[in-house]
């Protein structure tokens, strides 16, 4: 079992206080957006044996187990993070596995450099993800029913929104959503900037259901992504609740601290709320224009005290243990790799004492006994 030393990424949207507060350290005044916990080559966790990426590469079957290697290849299939949003992230979607492979092979064939700002596919993998709130957590997830969005936009009293309102009341719903998103992202930039400014002012004035979108517009004035955001469900998670983001589901995180887990990929197609490249044709190929409830997840408890966040994919499995003082130790040994992350209290994992924000890597088959008085998240795979 290896204690992990993890890198915090200073993205501009990050909170300056949430991760330091959890870790019990002094804020630096700079944004601290994500703590990466895993073997991603961009910022692998460090151990006394070297980086986790190097450890896994040296002996994948020993560290990951034969079943994981056979199923997912010789690398850790997931990346765990602490994510602290102090401002909205970009509005985005992720491809499914077939789309990722096709897109990656196409860009490789065309010789698009991996670090090119207009490159869409950094690898051939999909990127399903799960965010579990540690504090109240605001986000956008999936399309609202078009008629409900039409009513919401109509209530703003902005004349230039009328064409979108009319489109949203047309049928079928998927075609209506596609037409509106296409129109928003391909509109004349000057006209769109004026529309967004008027929309933002109306959202600010009306408050209530419009308040989250006023906040988004404050951070991204004139960005067409503000109107794209108005097509989506606003969700406020309470601590312990989670969202699963599958392929093609537009989403954005707005504010709060959470534990995030995802398949090990960098593939993102952006819809707005960003100065980065927005590839509209490719985006429209990937987005699933299906309205629906965002589907807030609550953990399902098992008899041994494990609370599992059930998702339909196999590259990761996230669960938590809320350990009461004086309880018998839990044996978490698995024939698969695990990362254990403490988020509250104090937890003993093998020979390691974990306080909030501290984590360990448990190789496949390694004895993993935990005890204490605190909350422990467990990240592993389904094999």
CA 65 – CA 74 distance, rounded (Å): 10
CA 350 – CA 372 distance, rounded (Å): 11
| Token digits of residue 158 | 């902005």
Q: Residue 225 pLDDT > 90, yes or no?
A: yes
State the pTM of this model.
Answer: 0.94
Burial (CB < 10 A; 0-12, 13-18, 19+), residue 303, is: exposed
- What pLDDT was estimated at residue 5? 98
CB 375 within 8 A of CB 322: yes
3-state secondary structure 147-180: HHHHHHHHCCCCHHHHHHHHHHCCCCHHHHHHHH
- What pLDDT was estimated at residue 325? 87
- What pLDDT was estimated at residue 327? 84
Q: How far is CA 342 from CA 33, 163, 352, in A?
A: 18, 50, 11
- What pLDDT was estimated at residue 381? 97
Percent of the chain's residues with pLDDT above 90: 93
- What pLDDT was estimated at residue 31? 97
Tens of pLDDT, residues 343-357: 999 999 999 999 999
- What pLDDT was estimated at residue 185? 95
Instruction: Give me the chain's average pLDDT, please.
Output: 96
Tens of pLDDT, residues 168-220: 999 899 999 999 999 999 999 999 999 999 999 999 999 999 999 999 999 99
Percent of the chain's residues with pLDDT above 70: 100
Q: How confident is the model at residue 137 (pLDDT cuts 50, 70, 90)?
A: very high
Mean pLDDT of 232-261: 97
CA 189 – CA 294 distance, rounded (Å): 30
User: Which is nearest to 285 in space by CA: 35, 106, 82?
Assistant: 106
What string of DSSP letters covers 238-262? PTT-EEEE-TT--EEEEEEEEEEEE
Burial (CB < 10 A; 0-12, 13-18, 19+), residue 191, is: exposed
- What pLDDT was estimated at residue 383? 82
Mean pLDDT of 81-89: 97
Angle CA 219–224–226, to nearest 5: 50
β-pairing, 300-301 vs 352-354, is: unpaired
Active-site entry in 3, 75, 144, 270: 270
CA 154 – CA 327 distance, rounded (Å): 56
Q: How confident is the model at residue 326 (pLDDT cuts 50, 70, 90)?
A: confident
CA 129 – CA 78 distance, rounded (Å): 9
SS3 of the chain: helix, strand, coil, percent, to 5: 30, 30, 40
- What pLDDT was estimated at residue 9? 95
- What pLDDT was estimated at residue 278? 92
Respond yes or no: is residue 270 known to be catalytic: yes
Q: Which residues, other chains included, contact 361 with Cβ-Cβ below 8 Å and sequence gap of 6+?
A: 1, 2, 4, 45, 47, 52, 55, 337, 338, 339
User: Which is nearest to 183 in space by CA: 165, 157, 159, 164?
Assistant: 164
Q: Residue 265 pLDDT > 90, yes or no?
A: no
Tens of pLDDT, residues 93-120: 999 999 999 999 999 999 999 989 999 9
Tens of pLDDT, residues 279-313: 999 999 999 999 999 999 999 999 889 999 999 99
Q: Residue 41 pLDDT > 90, yes or no?
A: no
Mean pLDDT of 356-368: 98
Token pair 């398949």 is found at 263
Residue 285 CB coordination number (10 Å): 14
Q: Which residues, other chains included, contact 251 with Cβ-Cβ below 8 Å and sequence gap of 6+?
A: 91, 92, 93, 139, 140, 141, 142, 232, 243, 245
How many alpha carbons lie under 13 Å from residue 216 in its C-beta half-sphere? 31
For residue 172, is the peptide bond before it cis, meaning its omega torsion is within 30 degrees of 0? yes
Q: How confident is the model at residue 46 (pLDDT cuts 50, 70, 90)?
A: very high
């Amino acid at each position: 079992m290896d204690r992990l030393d993890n890198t915090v990424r200073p993205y501009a949207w990050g909170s300056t206080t949430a991760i330091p507060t959890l870790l019990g350290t002094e804020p630096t005044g700079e944004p601290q957006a994500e703590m990466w916990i895993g073997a991603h080559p961009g910022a692998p966790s460090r151990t006394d044996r070297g980086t986790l990426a190097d450890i896994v590469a040296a002996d994948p079957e020993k560290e990951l187990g034969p079943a994981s290697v056979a199923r997912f290849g010789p690398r850790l299939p997931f990346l765990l993070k602490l994510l602290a949003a102090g401002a909205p992230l970009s509005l985005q979607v992720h491809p499914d596995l077939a789309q990722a492979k096709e897109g990656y092979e196409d860009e490789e064939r065309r010789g698009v450099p991996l670090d090119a700002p207009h490159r869409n596919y950094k690898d051939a993998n999909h990127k399903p993800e799960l965010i579990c709130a540690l504090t109240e957590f605001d986000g956008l997830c999936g399309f609202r029913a078009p008629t409900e969005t039409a009513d919401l936009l109509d209530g703003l009293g902005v004349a230039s929104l009328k064409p979108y309102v009319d489109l949203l009341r047309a049928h079928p719903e998927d075609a209506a959503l596609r037409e509106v998103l296409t129109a928003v992202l391909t509109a004349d930039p000057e006209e769109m900037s004026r529309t967004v400014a008027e929309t933002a002012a109306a959202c600010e004035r009306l408050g209530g259901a419009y308040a989250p979108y006023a906040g988004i517009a404050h951070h991204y004035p004139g960005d067409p992504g503000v109107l794209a955001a108005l097509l989506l469900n606003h969700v406020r998670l309470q601590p312990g609740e989670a969202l699963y983001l599958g392929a093609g589901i537009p989403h954005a995180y707005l504010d709060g601290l959470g534990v995030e887990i995802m398949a090990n990929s960098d593939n993102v197609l952006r819809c707005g709320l960003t100065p980065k490249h927005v590839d509209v044709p490719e985006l429209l190929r990937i987005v699933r224009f299906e309205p629906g409830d965002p589907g807030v997840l609550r953990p399902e408890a098992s008899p041994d005290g494990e609370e599992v966040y059930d998702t339909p994919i196999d590259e990761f499995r996230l669960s938590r243990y809320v350990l009461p003082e004086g309880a018998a130790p839990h044996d978490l040994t698995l024939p698969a790799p695990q990362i254990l992350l403490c988020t509250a209290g104090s937890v003993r994992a093998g020979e390691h004492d974990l306080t909030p924000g501290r984590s360990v890597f448990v190789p496949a088959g390694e004895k993993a006994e935990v005890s204490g008085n605190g909350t422990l998240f467990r990240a592993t795979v389904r094999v």
